[in-house]
Amino acid sequence: MDAPKGRYRVEEKDGRLTVIDTATGAPATSVTPSPRADASPRGPAAISTPPGLLDRYGRLLLSLVVRRWDEEGRAVVAWEWEQNGRKQRWDAALGPAEQKRLGRALIAVSAFPIFVLFTIFAGSGLTWLLLPLALPAAFWGVWAIMRLKRDTGGG
């Protein structure tokens, strides 16, 4: 038994390959246009862009507060503290998205100490104008860490 005849066949004409529709005998038309070599890509980039300055600073802070990493590259958080006379604990293995969230929250928490150091070393009264930015950022960072703790099952 022979294989059934296909809908299309390929022929060579003038050194170019052409697809012929066997039902009509005419060259087949493409529904989607072939991509142009000079066209710019319209979707997400195939190569990811390197992290920005803030994300690199967040990675640095993350590496300072996380003591160990598991074999899958997840940050293992094992924090213990005392609150209202009771021991509190947060154990979690953070994936890449959670690591980024924690890094950004740590950046925000560090905003106030950086402001204080900047004020000490700059010595100018104008640096106090940055205080309305530093305090809310630090509070947001603490709130973001509490949210991350809740989202990862830490209570």
Instruction: Enter the tokens of residue 67.
Output: 């003591």
Helix ranges, the chain (H): 53-65, 96-109, 111-122, 131-151
The model's pTM: 0.61
Contact predicate 90/81, CB 8 Å? no
Give the number of other CB atoms < 10 A from CB of residue 59: 15
Q: What percent of the chain has pLDDT over 70?
A: 82
* pLDDT tens digits, one per residue of 4-39: 677 788 888 888 888 888 888 788 776 655 555 555
Span 77-84, average pLDDT:
86
pLDDT level of residue 47 (50, 70, 90 thresholds) = low
Nearest to 97 by CA among 66, 74, 69: 74
- The DSSP code sequence of 77-94 is EEEEEEETTEEEEEEEEE
